[in-house]
Amino acid sequence: PRDGNPAACFALLDTERREVTMVRVPYDHEETTRKIQASGLPGWLGMRLKIGR
């Protein structure tokens, strides 16, 4: 989600209980940003990861 939190996020869906649980997973967004920039992709893509937007 673009909520200002740079951690990766995924959802767990429990259909029996009819519940959705959001799970945050930390990762090295700085390294990912460096790889994005090194690949020639626009720098703003990496910046979005850093700020979670």
Taking only the tens place, the pLDDT of each residue in 14-51 is 999 999 999 999 989 899 999 999 999 998 998 888 88
Q: Which carries the bigger pLDDT value, residue 17 or residue 4?
A: 17
Distances (CA, A) of 46 to 2, 3, 18, 19: 13, 16, 35, 32
pLDDT of residue 15: 98
- Residues 32 and 41: their CA atoms lie apart, in Å, by 12
Enter the pTM of the model.
0.64
- pLDDT at residue number 19: 98
Split at pLDDT 50, 70, 90, the class of 2 is confident
